[in-house]
Amino acid sequence: MTDASGERVIAHVDMDAFFTAVEVMDDPSLRGRPVIVGADPRNGAGRGVVSAASYEARRFGVHSAMPISQAYRLCPGAAFLPGRMRRYGEVSGQVMAVLEGFTPLVEQVSVDEAFLDLSGCRRLWGDAHQTGARIKAAVRQRTGLTASVGIGPNKLVAKIASDLRKPDGLVVVAAGDARAFLAPLPIRRLWGVGPATEAALLQLGVGEIGQLAALDPAALAARFGESGRWLQRCAAGEDDDPVSGGRGEKSLGAELTFDRDTADREQIVRTLLELCDRVAARLRRQGLRGRTITLKLRYQGFETHTHRATVAEGLDETIGLYTAARGLLQAHGDRTRPLRLVGVTVTNFGGSGRPPDLFAADDPLRGRRRTVDAAVDTVRERFGRRAVVRARTLRRDAS
Residue 9: alpha-carbon gap to chain centroid: 21
Please pick, among 56, 107, 113, 274, the residue that the annotation labels catalytic.
113
CA 80/CA 286 separation, integer angstroms: 26
Has 113 been annotated as catalytic? yes
What CA–CA distances, in Å, run from 109 to 8, 40, 237? 19, 28, 21
Q: Three-state SS for 323?
A: helix
- CA contacts within 13 A on the Cβ side of 180: 6
Between β-strands 50-53 and 79-81, what pairing exists: parallel, antiparallel or unpaired?
Answer: unpaired
d(CA 169, CA 180): 20
Phi, psi for residue 147 in degrees, rounded to 5? -130, 150
State the Cα–Cα distance between residues 110 and 279, nearest whole angstrom. 10
Is it true that the peptide bond before 167 is cis, omega within 30 degrees of 0? yes
Q: Which residues does the annotation mark as catalytic?
A: 113
